[in-house]
A and B are shown apart, each in its own frame.
Chain A
Amino acid sequence: MSLLSLSNVTVRYGRLTAVRGVSFTMAEGEVLFVTGPNGAGKSSLLRAVAGVVAPAGGRIDLADHDITGRSPETIARLGLSMVPEGREVFGSLSVEENLLVGTGMHAGTRGWRARCETDLAAVYATFPILKDRRRSQAGLLSGGQQQMLVIGRALMTNPRLMAIDEPSLGLAPNIIDQVYDRLTELRRHRALALLIVEQSSTRAMMVGGRMMLMRGGEILLDGDARALGQSEAMQSAYFGYGEH
C-alpha cells in the first residue's frame, strides 16, 4: 500500500506551468529525495502536496484519502507535516509554543495531554538545544536552531510523512550534517517517511534512499540515490546536456 501517490499532477501560476503532469508513489517509511536545478518545480510540487496550492490537474492521494485541492489543515490532519522553505518559525512565539502549535489537531482525544508531554520530551531529547532555549523567542534563534525547531515542530504532529523543503538552505556545512544526523536518527526510531527537496544531489547520495531528479516541471530520473548519483545520465540531466 502506498502512503502518497501522485498521478499526473500539474501546478500552474497564472500562465506559468511549474509542474507538468508528475506521477509517482511513495511507500510507508520511505525516504525520497527530490533534486533538480532552480525553477525545476520541486517546491511547487511540495506546495501542491501540502495543499498550499491547488493543483490545476491530476490527483493526489495520502493514506488512501483523495487530498487533491483539500485545505492545508485537512492534509496535515491526515498525517502530512510540512517543513517549508525558509523555515518559517513563528518568531514572536516561544520555542515551546512553536512546538505546541501543531498538537491541537489531536486535542480532546484520550490521553492527549500526556502524549503532548511525551512528544515534547522526545523532541527535546532529539534536539537538546531546544530544551535549553524553550522559553526564548523563536525569532532569536540561529538559523540552524530554527531548522531544528521546525523539524521538531513538524514531529509534534506525529506525522506519517514529513515533507521538507531545502533543509540545508543557508546553513553552514557542519550544521547541515547535524540536521541530517537527526533526520536519519528519527527515521530509525519511528515509522516516518521523508520527502526531502534539495537542490544538490550530494546530500541524497550520502544519506541514501530513493532519488528523483526534476527539471522543467517534469521528473527525468527516478531510482536509488547512490546508483543514480554516479550515473552519466544524472550528470547530463542535471546540467541539461542533451534533451530527454
Chain B
Amino acid sequence: MLRRGSVVRRTIATPIILSALILALAIFTVWSGSRPFNQTVIDVLLRVMLVVGLYIFIGNSGVLSFGHIGFTCLGAYAAAWLTMPPMMKGMMLPGLPGWLIATKLPYWVAAPIAATFAAVFAWLFGLVLMRLSGIAASIATFAMLAMINKIYSNWSSVTGATSSVVGIPIVRDLWPYVIAAILCIVIAWAHAISRAGLKLRAARDEPVAAQASGIDIPRERLVAFVVSGWVTGLAGALFAHSLGVVTPDTFYLAMTFMALSMLVVGGMSSLSGAVLGVLVLSLLIQLLRGLERGVDMGGVALKIPNGLQEIALGVIMIAILMFRPSGMMGNRELVWPRARRRRAADAAPRSSTNTQPTGVHR
C-alpha cells in the first residue's frame, strides 16, 4: 500500500496542469476583451464541469451512464428556484412552497445548494441503480433521465412545464465559471486518489479479484455517483446563470450526446482526457458553427446547412471509437514532462490489467 502523501505527490501534477490550462484560456479571454468570445468560453467551462462530472462516475466505475444530464436539470431548476425574484416565482411557479418563493439567494450561495439538491437525488437513484450492472444499469440510467425529463416537462406549477423559466440572474463575469471548473477538476482528482476512487478503479479493472478482496462495489459506485451528481448539478446551476433561461429539453438527449462524445473523444478513463476532449471538440463545434452561419471566403459565401455540426460530431465520435477506442488519452494523465519517463515505467504493469486475447473472433 502506498501512503497517501506519496499518492498525492505522484498525481498532483494532473490537476495543476489542467487548472493552468483553464486559467490560461481565461486570461487570454479577458485580455482579448471580446464579449461573444467571453460567452463562448463560459460555454466551454460549463462543458468542462459537465464532462468532468461524467468522468467521475463513468471513468472510475466503467459503467456507462446516460442519466447524468438529469442531475444537470435538477441543479439548473434548483438554482432557478433559489435565485429568481420572488414576484416572478409567485406568478410563473405558484406551486413552489411559500418559503421557497420568498427566498432569494445570491447565485454563489444558491449554486452549491442546487448541486447538493442534485446530489441528494443522485444518492436516492443511486441506491437503486448501483445494484445493477452492465447493460441493465446503462438502460436504467436512461430511464432515470427520461423520468426526470417527463416530470420537469409536465409539472407546470413547479417547473413551468415545457415553457421557458425566465428571470434567473445572469452572470456574465468569467471568473466564477473558472473557479467552478477548477473546483470540479480538483474534486475529480481528489475522488480518484481517495480510498473510494482507488477501490472503484480496482473493481473496474479486476471485478472478481476486487470482490474477493472485500470491495463493496455497489457502495463505491454509489460514492462516485453522488460526487458526480454534485458536479453535474453544479454545472446545471451555473448553466442556468449563464443563460438566464431554462427549459427541460435543454437537459436531454442532445446534451447527453454532446457530453458523452467529449468524454469518449478525450478518453473515458482519464481526467485529462475529459478536459482535453471538451477543449478539442469545443474548438471543432465553434468552427462548424461559424460555417453554419456562413463565412465570406474571398467573395464567395461559404455556408454549410444546419445540423451538419451534430453530424460531424457523430461521425468523429464513431471514427474515434473505431480507430482509437480509448480516446485521445487512453488511461494516461497529463504529468510533468520530466516525470513522464518514470511514470511510463509505473504505468506499464497497470495497463496489462485490461488485456484482451489478441485477435479473438467472437
Interface of chain A residues 1 through 43 with chain B (CB within 8 A): 12-15
Q: How far is the CB of A71 from chain B (nearest CB, A)?
A: 6
A13: chain B residues within 8 A (beta carbon): 355-358
Q: How far is the CA of A56 from the CA of B358 in the complex (A)?
A: 7
> Do residues A15 and B360 form an inter-chain contact, with CB atoms below 8 A?
no
Q: For residue B358, which residues in chain A have a CB less than 8 angstroms away from its CB?
A: 12-14, 54, 56
Q: Count the B residues whose beta carbon is within 8 Å of the partner chain — how many? A: 8
> Closest Cβ of chain A: how far from B151's Cβ, in Å?
40
Closest to A50 in B: B361
With a CB–CB cut-off of 8 A, which chain B residues contact A53?
357, 359-361
Chain B residue numbers with a CB within 8 Å of A14 are 352, 355-358
The number of residues on chain A lying at the interface, defined by a beta carbon within 8 Å of a beta carbon of chain B, is: 12
Closest to B356 in A: A14
What's the Cα separation between A13 and B356 when bound, in Å?
6
Chain A residues with CB under 8 A of B352:
14-15
Query: Which residues from A are CB-within-8-Å of B360?
Result: 52-54
Interface of chain B: mostly helix, strand, loop or mixed:
loop
A54 to B360, CA, bound (A): 6
Q: Would you call B361 and A72 a contact (CB within 8 A)?
A: yes
Cβ–Cβ contact A54 & B355, under 8 A: no
Contact B359 A54 (CB under 8 A): yes
CB distance from A207 to the nearest CB of B (A): 31
A71–B360 alpha-carbon span in the complex (Å): 10
Give the Cβ gap from A52 to chain B, nearest Cβ, in Å: 6
A13 CA to B358 CA in the complex, in Å? Answer: 6
In the complex, chain B residues 110-158 whose Cβ is within 8 Å of any chain A Cβ: none
User: How far apart are the CA atoms of A13 and B359 in the complex, in Å?
Assistant: 9
Does A51 count as interface, using CB distance less than 8 angstroms? yes
Q: State the CA gap A81–B356 with chains docked (Å).
A: 26
Q: 22 A–B contact pairs at CB < 8 A? A: A12-B358, A13-B356, A13-B357, A14-B352, A14-B355, A14-B356, A14-B357, A14-B358, A15-B352, A51-B361, A52-B360, A52-B361, A53-B357, A53-B359, A53-B361, A54-B358, A54-B359, A54-B360, A54-B361, A56-B359, A71-B361, A72-B361
**Which residues in A have some Cβ–Cβ distance to B below 8 Å?**
12-15, 51-54, 56, 69, 71-72
Interface residues of B (CB under 8 A from A): 352, 355-361
11 additional contacts, CB 8 Å, given A12-B358, A14-B358? A12-B357, A13-B356, A13-B357, A14-B352, A51-B361, A52-B361, A53-B357, A54-B360, A54-B361, A69-B359, A71-B361
